[in-house]
Amino acid sequence: MKHTDLIELMTDSAYLQQEVTVCGWVRTSRDSKNMAFIELNDGTSLKHMQIVIDKAVIENPSAFMKLGSALKITGTLVPSAVKQGGVEINASAIEVLGECPPEYPLQKKRHTLEFLRTMPHLRVRTNTFNAVFRVRSIIANAIHEFFQDRHFVYVHTPIITGSDCEGAGEMFQVTTNGFTQEYKNKEDYYANDFFGCKAGLSVSGQLEGEVAAMAFGKIYTFGPSFRAENSNTPRHVAEFWHIEPEVAFAELPDIIEIAEEMIKHIINTVLEKCPDELAFFEQHFEKGLREKLETVASQDFAILDYTDAIELLKKADADFQYPVEWGCDLQTEHEKYITETAFKKPVFVTNYPKDIKSFYMKQNPDGKTVAATDLLVPGVGEIIGCSEREADLEKLLAAMEAKGMTTEEYQDYLDLRRFGSVPHSGFGLGFERIIMYVTGISNIRDVILYPRTVGNVR
Ligand code: 4AD
Ligand code: MG
């Protein structure tokens, strides 16, 4: 169907006074005595295009004015009569492509995000989702750009896997068999299954990412990860998108530098390419959003040792629900205090106790902590989990034993420590979490097309 994107007409003055054909959906309309007006949107821009209908040219325009209906319009692009620098179309012909009856649920101007979650197939047509998903797309591209420009190889790690990277028992099982009493035991059951052993959906591409980094030096993944954790919070979904760079010959400070640069590149790209969307989020979701992003992009992030974080929290003038002791995991309330009250900016918390972190992290000489860091940001909390990896075979085996892990499924991973082992580091960025931070949207369910959470797979 020959037509021009609305964004083209709004940004290229060569179209002025030309005859154009556009397609889109009616977002609002109003009727007056001799004229009628339609705000048309085709999804290429957050802004709508005003269609001006002269009733002397097009009789009975009410047939075209129903909210949600799809139209094809031909007319002349002219400067807007009221909006400076804006354009509108004086319609000469209108065709209805798809009717939309009054039962269409998005009649009201603004619905709550909670209400919109009940209709994932329609909510994408609202301004909020138009803005969120354009920013999501721009950020995805910015991430590829960042790594490609720095000689990282984009690898695709498997989604079905036999090993649980985080060792937290949060894997969804992949099976073609139902368990029946005919099986003597679990081993017998798994042996009879599709892969001949237990398999699940990957919680992280890291272990395979490390394999690739030992060949290509610098790699990144960008794909879905799955977590069967039963946490019904505004920042957890069972299926999220995960960016995981892995870098050979990098120690913890090196990978921290890359993570900070990447976040700043993402923010600067959105500041540059999404001014309309940011203005929209600023108006409806987070006051001062643009200024926050500009400040974050121009300052160094803080680096705070876990042990110092514990001291800070102990001295804090705050009523924490969860007590703070060296060795405890940081709860949301603690992360909030560190980023929102104490530092008011992104903070890398480093050198966590080894007992609360994963087996693969490099053990520090103190025997108690690991060279790991989480990047915490105001409003969202943890957006990056990062560490230098244990490159020493004996130490890695000891850590696995201490955590009660069996080594059979990890022989390939252990081989990396047997054949040309080098210091290396990597991190995982939660794609939806950085989108939340950049847009000011406070629930992860509203930055992903179809959120998968406990009890919800619509
Ligand atoms: O901290 P996590 O569990 O770290 C890893 O998976 C490492 N293997 C990463 C690596 O070093 N390559 O997860 C990394 C990030 C978190 O910081 C968070 O942003 C996001 O993934 N994440 C989730 N996002 C949404 N919903 C969930 N259920 C998430 N779980 C983790
Ligand atoms: Mg983590």
Tens digits of per-residue pLDDT, 326-340?
999 999 999 999 999
The per-residue pLDDT for 165 is 80
pLDDT recorded at residue 181: 79
Secondary structure (3-state) at 378: coil
pLDDT, residue 189, reads: 85
Does this model's pTM top 0.75? My answer is: yes
Residue whose CA is at the smallest distance from ligand 1 atom 28:
236
Task: Flag residues of the chain having pLDDT under 50.
Answer: none
Is 6-104 CATH 1.10.8.420? no
Strands 372-377 and 347-350 turn out to be antiparallel
How many angstroms is it from 159 CA to the middle of ligand 1?
A: 15
Q: What residues have CB less than 8 Å from 404, skipping those under 6 apart?
A: none
- Tokens standing for residue 136: 């999501």
The neighbourhood of ligand 2, an ion, using CB within 5 A, equals: 385
d(CA 379, CA 386) in angstroms, rounded, equals: 20
CA-CA distance, 453 to 458, in Å (whole number)? 10
Both tokens of 88, joined, read: 């509108």
What pLDDT sits at residue 186? 83
3-state secondary structure of 186: helix
In this prediction, residue 110 carries a pLDDT of 86
> What is 257-313 written as a DSSP string?
HHHHHHHHHHHHHHHHH-HHHHHHHHHHT-TTHHHHHHHHHHSPPEEEEHHHHHHHH
Radius of gyration of the chain (CA): 27
The CA distances from residue 210 to 128, 248, 411, 413, in Å, are 38, 8, 13, 8
Specify the CATH number for 127-446; select among 3.40.50.300, 3.40.605.10, 3.30.930.10, 3.10.20.30. 3.30.930.10
Give just the sign of the alpha carbon dihedral 134, 374, 219, 226. negative
Give the residue whose CA is nearest to atom 11 of ligand 1: 427
385 pocket-lining for ligand 1 (C-beta < 6 Å): yes
Domain boundaries, the chain: 6-104, 127-446
pLDDT at position 125 is 97
- Determine whether 338 is exposed, middle or buried from the number of CB atoms within 10 Å of its CB (0-12, 13-18, 19+): buried
* Strand (E) or helix (H) holding 432: helix 431-439
Q: Is the CB of 381 under 6 A from ligand 1?
A: no
